[in-house]
Amino acid sequence: MDEKASYKDAGVDIDQANLFIKRILPLIKLTSRKEVMNSIGGFGGLFHLDLKKIKDPVLVASTDGVGTKIKIAQMMNKHDTVGIDLVAMSVNDIVVQGAEPLFFLDYIAIGHMDVERNVQLIEGVVAGCQEAGCSLIGGETAEMPGIYAKDEYDLAGFCIGVVENGKIIDGSDIHVGDLVIGIASNGIHSNGYSLVRNVLFEKAGLNVLDHLEGIENSLGEELLRPTRIYVKPILNLIKNFNVKGIVHITGGGFFDNIPRIVPRQCCTAIKKASWPVPPIFNRIQEIGNIEEDEMFRVFNMGIGMMLVVSEKEAGDIMERLNMLGEKAYIIGSIEKAAPEQSSVSLI
């Protein structure tokens, strides 16, 4: 009973945690906006909302994670992209309501303080925040031996944005005859990875170094493609056009996400052949013998964001998206729903 106990002996290394904070401080400063009032290290992040720019502000909040895509990062021992995914999942959810992301916080749960790996994670978060134009103003890294294995970790992110009360985009102006514009994804993004891993690794016995037909990168590289962040092009569009509704194609794919903004009396008709589906989705479907409806319910199928716009403005919006470097396609239309008809139809 004379043996002395310490936190380090119990699996939590405070010195390494302090070294980690020291390493990431210069990175975090890269995301700073003028509204940020303090640096990392306080009990909470301070952000001064500039009411000169917005008369009747509504704050929009979102939280999300990366899901089992983290398993791919661990298999590849490559951790500098899932932080981008983490930011993307929240900021994309905020911008669909017309809001500008302001600041972001991260939560990293780990089994062991691996400073180099954790710095990579923050490098990704910083890159995502820079792309979205928001500040990383705080976070938490929780070392929890006994809950997570030594090399395991999980991520969660939290974002706050702001929109003028009268400019919230909620789909209420959507009418029959409006068109649906799809903006290309960058692959699988961050949803459906439990099915991906089950099909490719467990059933097919593939590994991250394998190559699939029609795909240049290794399987691991393809699966780790970071989620596209659509904040800047979307904010550009809503300043110049009347965008009636925006859909972020995340968990639930087409069938669960589109009805979130389209009125119940309407049906969204999606033309499946109107955009190129990235080869990774075709390979997953073939190898797993997955039905088409299931693919569209789980994955983005090459479309990461959808816009519902009037037919009159569709051409100009397409032209603007192309000018912004986005690959965009008119992929469907809003129609009057027949009795008992599904709210989304694939044609």
Judge whether 220 and 75 are in contact, CB under 8 Å. yes
Distances (CA, A) of 299 to 46, 266, 271, 304: 37, 23, 16, 9
Task: Mention the CATH class of domain 14-167.
Answer: alpha beta
Half-sphere exposure of 53 (CA within 13 A, CB side): 8
Residue whose C-alpha is closest to residue 268's, from 178, 184, 136: 178
Q: Residue 112 and residue 121: Cα distance in Å, rounded?
A: 14
Does position 2 have pLDDT exceeding 70, yes or no? Answer: no
pLDDT of 218-237, one tens digit each? 999 999 999 999 999 999 99
Q: Give me the pLDDT at residue 74, please.
A: 96
Q: Give me the pLDDT at residue 81, please.
A: 97
pLDDT of 44-90, one tens digit each? 999 999 888 889 999 999 999 999 999 999 999 999 999 999 999 99
Judge whether 118 and 141 are in contact, CB under 8 Å. yes
Structure tokens at 2: 């004379």
Beta bridge partners of 334: 268
In degrees rounded to 5, what are phi and psi of residue 145?
Answer: -60, 140
* Pick among 3.90.650.10, 3.30.70.580, 3.40.50.450, 2.60.40.420: CATH of 179-346: 3.90.650.10
Structure tokens at 284: 């997953």
pLDDT of 266-296, one tens digit each? 999 999 999 999 999 999 999 999 999 999 9
Beta bridge partners of 58: 163
SS3 203: helix
Q: Where are the domains of the chain?
A: 14-167, 179-346
Q: Which secondary-structure segment (H or E) carries 233?
A: helix 231-240
The reported pTM is: 0.95
SS3 14: helix
Q: 124 falls in which pLDDT band (50, 70, 90)? A: very high
